[in-house]
A = this chain, B = another copy of it.
Amino acid sequence: MPQTPHIEQHFTGSELIRDIVIGMADGLTVPFALAAGLSGIVNSTSIVITGGLAEIAAGSIAMGLGGYLAARSDAEHYANERETEQREVDMIPEVEVEEVEQVFLAYGLEKDESALVANALRQRPQAWIDFMMRFELGLEEPDPKRAPRSALTIGLSYIAGGLVPLAPYMLIPTAETALLFSVGFTLVALFIFGYVKGRFTGNRPFRSAVQTTLIGGLAAAVAFGLAKVISR
């Protein structure tokens, strides 16, 4: 596939960061809320720790394998579509030429200008298929090494994120005190994480920090409140 030359690709090389963000966002939020919820039911740090670790294990496997399959199915989808385009270019080239012309007509080119581009592409079948993949279908060729790397990155980030809210329960013997430290630590971690995430994703960092902290805090508060109400 020809490399489209740009100065302006914003997401290049940030798949790793995206995977870390995906894993850590959930890892910081869900185990945090669960630990808060469990603290609302039982006054035993060991149940909170065990439940929390079980959740971290489950969540990191589910998210990691989910990421693996998503990346794999992207790659398969791309290959299937490419085969279809290849077949269409071979079998019904007139229809495909017509489709290219339609694309350019839609962008306001004249009939003869569109025909010229379509014909020029027709002379170069591979470039033509690349063009259809990117332009007509909006698909980019996925990196084949992406799937396992993505799985590992998401899974490990989930574990790293999830250990933050659990650490206080491992260090402090009283569940109530541990909860306070867990809330404090995790809200700070969420704020820093949201700030960094904002910088990497092109959002305003401070706003991203506030939003991330609010979501995590809200989820934990609801989980804690719900657990208290139900277990009463």
Residues of chain A having any CB pair with chain B under 8 Å:
2-10, 25-26, 29-30, 32-34, 36-38, 40-42, 46-47, 49-51, 53-55, 57-59, 61-63, 65-66, 69, 73, 76-77, 80-81, 84, 99, 102-104, 106-110, 113, 116-117, 120-121, 123-124, 127-128, 130-131, 134-138, 140, 201-203, 211, 215-216, 218-220, 222-224, 226-227, 230-231
CB contacts (< 8 Å) of A34 on chain B: these are 34, 51, 54-55, 58
Please state if A58 and B73 are interface contacts (CB–CB under 8 Å).
no
Known interface pairs A62-B219, A203-B76. Does A99 touch B54 (Cβ–Cβ under 8 Å)? Answer: no
Please state if A58 and B38 are interface contacts (CB–CB under 8 Å).
no
Known interface pairs A38-B51, A222-B61, A223-B55. Does A46 touch B108 (Cβ–Cβ under 8 Å)? Answer: no
Known interface pairs A113-B116, A127-B108. Does A223 touch B58 (Cβ–Cβ under 8 Å)? Answer: yes
CB contacts (< 8 Å) of A33 on chain B: these are 54-55, 57-59, 61-62
CB contacts (< 8 Å) of A3 on chain B: these are 106
Please state if A121 and B107 are interface contacts (CB–CB under 8 Å).
yes
The 7 tightest CB contacts between A and B, nearest first, are A37-B54, A33-B58, A108-B127, A54-B223, A58-B223, A108-B124, A2-B106
Inter-chain CA distance A134–B135, complex, in Å, is: 8
* CB proximity of A135 to chain B, nearest CB, Å: 6
Inter-chain CA distance A46–B230, complex, in Å, is: 9
Say how many copies of this protein the assembly contains: 2
Known interface pairs A58-B34, A62-B33. Does A50 touch B230 (Cβ–Cβ under 8 Å)? Answer: yes
CB contacts (< 8 Å) of A110 on chain B: these are 120
Please state if A102 and B58 are interface contacts (CB–CB under 8 Å).
no
Please state if B136 and A108 are interface contacts (CB–CB under 8 Å).
no
Contact sample, A vs B, 9 pairs, CB 8 Å cutoff:
A8-B137, A10-B137, A26-B62, A33-B61, A37-B51, A37-B54, A53-B230, A107-B127, A138-B140
A34 nearest CB neighbor, chain B only: B55
Known interface pairs A61-B215, A69-B211. Does A121 touch B136 (Cβ–Cβ under 8 Å)? Answer: no
Inter-chain CA distance A76–B202, complex, in Å, is: 9
Known interface pairs A107-B2, A109-B117, A121-B107. Does A58 touch B8 (Cβ–Cβ under 8 Å)? Answer: no
